[in-house]
Each structure stands twice: as structure tokens, then as C-alpha cells.
Amino acid sequence: MVFAHDTEVALTTAAALVNTAAEEERLPDVAALDAFLTERQWTGRREGTRAELESVWALRPRLRRLWFAAEDEVVASVNALLRDNHALPQLVRHNEWPYHLHATSPDAPLAARMAVEAAMGLVDVVRTGELGRLRVCDYPDCDNVLVDLSKNRSRRFCEAGCGNRAAVNAYRARRAAAGRQPAHR
Ligand SMILES: [Zn+2]
Ligand SMILES: [Zn+2]
């Protein structure tokens, strides 16, 4: 583990949220947002309204910029996210999870909780000097973001299957190259 478990969850969730703003909208309606939250095991209040969905949409570009910004700019944004959403870190324990940090109450608006969770994750990244772990997928034309949580900083592809696609391409390229070699006798 590179960071504390709750930090890693916060970062991968933030990346996944950012990546829902793809060419084809991945959170087109309230039901899609609900499915995303359930898949990511989000707790706390959900209104299931259009306004809530729109506030989540509005958060995504703000989070995405964190992947491309220089350190001082990340710090300014993270501090603003924490301040604007009245973050107050508290250790909590709920469901089956051990003690971890929450910095908003469970009945704060969803987008505020998402913003603060992402910001809290970024706090750890910045203060350990690990911003280099926030990267963009290496697959051609994929601009999904990723968080490299591997020990040896070797992660290159996003969660959306680009790693598999790259492996298949590499396999085909090897087969094609082998096919061009003179046959063995
Ligand atoms: Zn929790
Ligand atoms: Zn990708």
C-alpha cells in the first residue's frame, strides 16, 4: 500500500468520477449516478435529484484539473475545496470499515462530500511528494486519468480496459513479427 487505505479509495474514486465525463457521458442520469455510487460503496445522503446530478457534473472538471496542475495550483485548489465545503476531519467507523477519516457529515450534499473526499486524498499525495502518481492513461487517444498506486510506479493504463487492449495489441504485433520471419526447417 502506497497510501493509507482510505486515501487510496478516495483517489481511485476521484479518478473514476473524473473519467465518467468521457466523450460519451457515463453519468447521463440519476440512475447512472446511483449505480456509480453503489458500485463505489458510497455512504451518506443521496437525494437522487437532477440538481444533485448536476452538482456532481460540475465537480468533475474541477477535479480533473488537479491531474494536470503544478503543485502550488493543486494546493490552492485542494485548500479551496476543503474550505468551501467546510471540511472538518474526524476519525469515524461505520459499516464493516475500520477507523478512517471523514471530513464532512453524512448528510452534507453529495457533491460536497465527493469534493472533500477527493481533496483529502490529494492532501496525502501532496505532502508525500507523490503528485507524479496522478497521470493520464498511456493508451493512444485515451485521456482518462489514473492514480498509480503500484509499488514500482509502473501503472500506465486506466481502469477502463486499456491495459488489456494494450496487451492484445502487443501480442498481435509479436505474432505479426514472428510471421514475417523465415520458417524454421
Ligand atoms: Zn466512511
Ligand atoms: Zn485508458
For the chain, 185 residues long, give each residue's pLDDT as a single digit of tens. Answer: 899 999 999 999 999 999 999 889 999 999 999 999 999 999 999 999 999 999 999 999 999 999 999 999 999 999 999 999 999 999 999 988 899 999 999 999 999 999 999 999 999 999 999 999 999 999 999 999 999 999 999 999 998 899 999 999 999 999 999 887 666 65
Query: What's the pLDDT score for residue 183?
Result: 60
Q: How many CB atoms lie within 10 A of CB 129?
A: 9
Query: What's the pLDDT score for residue 22?
Result: 85
Cβ-count burial 130-161 (b if 16+ within 10 Å, e if not): bbebbbebebeebebbbbbbeeeeebbbbebe
Alpha-carbon separation of residue 107 from 43, 57, 91, 103, 119 (angstroms): 10, 19, 16, 12, 18
C-alpha span between 123 and 3 (Å, rounded): 11
C-alpha span between 14 and 65 (Å, rounded): 12
- Gap from CA of 90 to ligand 2 centroid (Å): 35
Q: Which ligand has an atom closest to residue 101 CA?
A: 1
Element spanning 147, H or E: strand 145-147
Cβ-count burial 46-81 (b if 16+ within 10 Å, e if not): eeeeeebbebbeebbeebbebbebeeeebbebbeeb
- Gap from CA of 138 to ligand 1 centroid (Å): 32
Q: Which ligand has an atom closest to residue 44 CA?
A: 1
Query: CA torsion, points 149, 154, 158, 164, in degrees to nearest 10?
Result: -130
Query: What's the pLDDT score for residue 1?
Result: 86
Counted residue by residue, the chain has a size of: 185
- Gap from CA of 133 to ligand 2 centroid (Å): 15
Alpha-carbon separation of residue 137 from 12, 59, 63 (angstroms): 14, 21, 16
- Gap from CA of 97 to ligand 1 centroid (Å): 7
Closest CA to 120 of 14, 19, 1: 14
- Ligand 2 ion: nearby residues, β-carbon < 5 Å: 137, 139, 142, 144, 158, 162
pTM: 0.91
- Gap from CA of 42 to ligand 1 centroid (Å): 8
